[in-house]
């Protein structure tokens, strides 16, 4: 008769419990592995459970087995009940030992294979967009939502936030562990503050895909504006942006990407956390060693203060700080809706009404949805009762679209709105380039960081209908403000009046 025996020491309470836990957890991991291979369920909680929690339980069970055996052995030794050896011994001629030995060998083999597959799954999973974007559901909802509508919707979060290499991987997992803790205890700030201090230098991440030497020439961009008048007049601006770039080295770089070419180093000091107020800039020509320092003449920083601070070297995110999490201001979001006819521009004053409804501060999503409807309906009922009766469908569509634009760009529970995350590209809604290029940053020898409109772009066409202007000249058109503001734009920044809602 065949009798299956294990070493005597294995027959103890703790080891048995450990074995039971390990077997159950092991079976569940295998089942979940099959589930994840053969189905397309992409649930982050399921992933955390199968690839992080279950393996931990499995390992816990396995550790209990030798602990139980060790305790048993100690107990027996104290009771003088054991053989005279100091260490447990293994004799393959004894069936019990043989069984235990083979179980151990095969068990370890399966465990190592499973762990390898499991760790790979865990690694893969913890790097996935679902994990980063949806695990802490409400915390990352703004970033995840905006990301899905951005040019980088197919780029994984970790490509920008972690990048290649083991060092940053470990760093990110450590700070990630803290973030999980902060989320569980509800200790995270709302909104999440930027700039992210620990963000990897952008050049190491962005340049995996964007190679600066290939940025040549210009980029045409047409921005569709609608005015806040009765007829929502269309006022597009079509321009050629001098992105530039060029071969690195040999002082060849020109245009906007000049700042990041290899023979140029631009550093700056900001007064505020968000790097909006920049009183000091230093440009070093790495080829010739020539250095130029620019001060904000209107509001300089004392030399003492400058010496006490560490300058920041300008990189991609000093301009492209919103490559992926783009929270459109109501003005832009509604312009896009009008341009795609999701809101019909024939509805009088609809630009103004929709922007007002979207920009109002609400405390919850539900409240926003309800009040947006009330606001738009109320306006047309009162001011255009006839139209309201005849065009109910169009007005309903405008309401639905405004709600949708709200949901995609504004997140009350995280206090995320366009105005808490300034976008540094351009100078229309935010200071952006004008943090340095406003025309008041000068060096001691009288050089000023350029402010002339044509140094960054030329306007190819502007306006529509009677106001339409177009040119094929190299120097472009002179900017014409669509309404008369006594040329105030020459002295003031656009962003001082255009804050994302009606100016
Ligand atoms: C194309 C690169 C890129 C991708 C892809 C990306 N991010 Fe970001 N993310 C950034 C940059 C740049 C910032 C702003 C850093 C700063 O201002 O210091 C940022 C900021 C953030 C912030 C801070 C709050 C905010 O809204 O600015 C969070 C949170 C965040 N990202 C999460 C995510 C998540 C989750 C994903 C994936 C769903 C993701 N990111 C994908 C580049 C990226
Ligand atoms: C894994 C590759 C990858 C990484 C990393 C990456 N990008 Fe991109 N980026 C892309 C792709 C692909 C596109 C083109 C998307 C399209 O054409 O719709 C793009 C487009 C862009 C654009 C043009 C956007 C537009 O409106 O057309 C900018 C600007 C940009 N990326 C900046 C950045 C910055 C800044 C970073 C680093 C924080 C970065 N990218 C990191 C792949 C990447
Ligand atoms: C002194 C405040 C002020 C300044 C500065 C200013 N604008 Fe305006 N802008 C207005 C007002 C007021 C309107 C009229 C709103 C309407 O009916 O569309 C307007 C309308 C516009 C429009 C029509 C579409 C829209 O969004 O309202 C454009 C485009 C525009 N401005 C561009 C600019 C640009 C570019 C600059 C900077 C070079 C600038 N403005 C500077 C006040 C200003
Ligand atoms: C001085 C500000 C600034 C810096 C620094 C900067 N960019 Fe840009 N970049 C721009 C502007 C402005 C545009 C024009 C597009 C626009 O206005 O939206 C642009 C355009 C781009 C585009 C789209 C180009 C095209 O032709 O489609 C990519 C990609 C890009 N940048 C990547 C990068 C990367 C990667 C870095 C860092 C190595 C970087 N940029 C650094 C300002 C900057
Ligand atoms: C931190 C300060 C700073 C910021 C922010 C900044 N620049 Fe500059 N920029 C400089 C300095 C310094 C120079 C060199 C002096 C000059 O040529 O005027 C320069 C030069 C330039 C040049 C001329 C390059 C050449 O061909 O010689 C262009 C174009 C330019 N910047 C565009 C931009 C644009 C567009 C933005 C915003 C997206 C921007 N800059 C943001 C500091 C800055
Ligand atoms: C330092 C570089 C720089 C200077 C100087 C500059 N701009 Fe711009 N401007 C930009 C960039 C970059 C954008 C593109 C932003 C984007 O991609 O949306 C822009 C956008 C614009 C737009 C389109 C804005 C919109 O959203 O419709 C207008 C109009 C404009 N600039 C006019 C001017 C005028 C007028 C001047 C001179 C007073 C000027 N700019 C000076 C860099 C500059």
Distance CA 93, CA 461 (A): 93
Average pLDDT of every residue of the chain: 87
Buried b (16+ CB within 10 A) or exposed e, 344-377: bbebbbbbbbbbbbbbbebeeeeebbeebbebbb
Stronger pLDDT, 115 or 450, i.e. the higher one: 450
Retrieve residue 486's tokens: 């006594």
Q: Using the predicted structure, report yes or no on whether residue 500 has a pLDDT greater than 50.
A: yes
Q: Whose CA is nearest to atom 35 of ligand 6?
A: 479
Residue-level pLDDT at 328? 97
Residues whose CB falls within 8 Å of the CB of residue 329, separated by 6 or more in sequence, listed in order = 359, 409, 418, 419, 429, 499, 500, 501
How many angstroms is it from 485 CA to the middle of ligand 3?
8
Q: For residues 407 and 142, give the distance between their C-alpha atoms in angstroms, rounded to a whole number.
A: 9
Report the separation in Å between the CA atom of 107 and the middle of ligand 6, taken as the mean of its atom positions. 66
- Return the pLDDT at 105: 82
Look at residue 209 in the predicted model and tell me its pLDDT.
87
Query: For ligand 6, atom 34, which residue shows the shortest CA distance?
Result: 453
pLDDT > 70? residue 103:
yes
Residue 135 near ligand 1, beta carbon < 6 Å: no
- Rounded to whole angstroms, the Cα distance separating 441 from 105 reads 72
The per-residue pLDDT for 1 is 42
Q: Which atom of ligand 4 is nearest to the CA of 424?
A: 2
Q: What are the angstrom distances between the C-alpha of 109 and each of 67, 167, 462?
A: 21, 30, 71
**Is the backbone peptide bond immediately before 126 cis, with ω within 30 degrees of 0?**
no
Those residues whose C-beta lies under 8 Å from the C-beta of residue 2, and which sit 6 or more positions away, are none
Q: Is 89 exposed, middle or buried (0-12, 13-18, 19+ CB in 10 A)?
A: exposed
pLDDT, residue 200, reads: 79
Q: Which of 22-31, 80-89, 257-266 is predicted least confidently?
A: 80-89
**Model confidence over 263-287: pLDDT tens digits?**
889 999 999 989 999 999 999 998 8
Handedness of CA 250, 252, 258, 261 (dihedral sign): negative
Closest residue CA from atom 42 of ligand 4:
319
User: Taking Cα atoms as reference points, which of 400, 402, 384 lies closest to residue 347?
Assistant: 384
- Cβ of 195 below 6 Å from ligand 1: yes
Q: Residue 345: which pLDDT band, with cuts at 50, 70 and 90?
A: very high
Instruction: Average the pLDDT over each of 27-31, 34-38, 397-401 and give the range with the smallest value.
Output: 34-38
> What are 123-155's pLDDT values in tens digits?
777 778 877 777 666 788 899 899 998 999 988
What is the pLDDT at residue 478? 95
User: Which range, of 247-251, 334-338, 365-369, 393-397, averages the lowest pLDDT?
Assistant: 247-251
| CA-atom Rg of the chain in angstroms | 32
Which of these, 115, 5, 16, lies nearest to 64 by C-alpha position? 16
The lowest-confidence range among 65-74, 167-176, 231-240, 468-477 is 167-176
CB atoms within 10 A of CB 246: 20
């Amino acid at each position: 008769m065949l009798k299956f025996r294990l070493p005597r020491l294995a027959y103890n309470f703790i080891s048995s419990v450990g074995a039971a836990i390990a077997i159950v957890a092991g079976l569940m991991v295998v089942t979940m592995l099959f589930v994840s291979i053969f189905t397309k369920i992409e649930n982050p909680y399921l992933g955390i459970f199968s690839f992080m929690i279950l393996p931990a339980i499995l390992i816990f069970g396995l550790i209990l087995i030798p602990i139980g055996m060790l305790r048993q052995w100690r107990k027996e030794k104290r009771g003088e009940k054991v053989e005279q050896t100091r260490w447990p011994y293994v004799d393959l001629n004894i069936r019990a030992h043989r069984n235990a030995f083979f179980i151990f060998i095969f068990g370890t083999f399966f465990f190592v294979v499973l762990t390898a597959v499991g760790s790979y799954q865990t690694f893969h999973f913890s790097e996935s967009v679902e994990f980063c974007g949806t695990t802490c559901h409400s915390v990352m909802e703004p970033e995840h939502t905006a990301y899905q509508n951005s040019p980088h919707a197919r780029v994984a979060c970790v490509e920008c936030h972690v990048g290649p290499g083991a060092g940053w991987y470990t760093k990110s997992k450590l700070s990630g562990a803290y973030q999980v803790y902060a989320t569980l205890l509800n200790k995270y700030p709302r909104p999440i503050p930027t700039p992210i201090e620990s963000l990897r230098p952008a050049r190491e991440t962005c340049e995996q895909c964007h190679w600066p030497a290939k940025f040549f020439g210009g980029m045409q961009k047409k921005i569709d504006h609608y005015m806040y008048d009765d007829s929502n007049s269309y006022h597009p601006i079509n321009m050629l942006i001098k992105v530039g770039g060029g071969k690195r080295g040999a002082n060849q770089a020109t245009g906007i990407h000049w700042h990041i070419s290899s023979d140029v180093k631009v550093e700056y000091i900001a007064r505020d956390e968000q790097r909006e107020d920049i009183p000091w800039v230093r440009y070093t020509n790495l080829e010739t060693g020539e250095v130029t320092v620019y001060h904000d003449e209107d509001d300089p920083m004392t030399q003492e203060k400058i010496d006490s601070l560490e300058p920041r070297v300008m990189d991609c995110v000093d301009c492209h700080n919103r490559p992926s999490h783009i929270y459109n201001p109501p003005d832009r979001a509604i312009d896009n809706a009008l341009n795609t006819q999701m809101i019909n521009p024939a509805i009088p004053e609809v630009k103004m009404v929709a922007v007002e409804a979207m920009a109002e501060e609400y405390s919850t999503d539900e409240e926003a949805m309800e009040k947006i409807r009330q606001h738009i309906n109320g306006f047309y009922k009162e001011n255009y009762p006839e139209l309201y009766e005849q065009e109910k469908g169009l007005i309903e569509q405008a309401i639905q679209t405004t709600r949708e634009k709200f949901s995609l760009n504004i997140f009350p529970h995280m206090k995320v709105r366009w105005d808490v995350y300034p976008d540094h590209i351009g100078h229309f809604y935010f200071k952006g380039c004008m943090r340095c290029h406003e025309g008041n940053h000068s060096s001691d020898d009288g050089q000023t960081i350029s402010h002339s409109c044509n140094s960054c772009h030329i306007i190819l066409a502007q306006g529509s209908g009677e106001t339409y202007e177009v040119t094929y000249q190299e120097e472009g058109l002179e900017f014409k403000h669509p309404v008369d503001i006594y040329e105030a734009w020459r002295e003031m920044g656009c962003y001082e009046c255009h804050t994302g809602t009606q100016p």
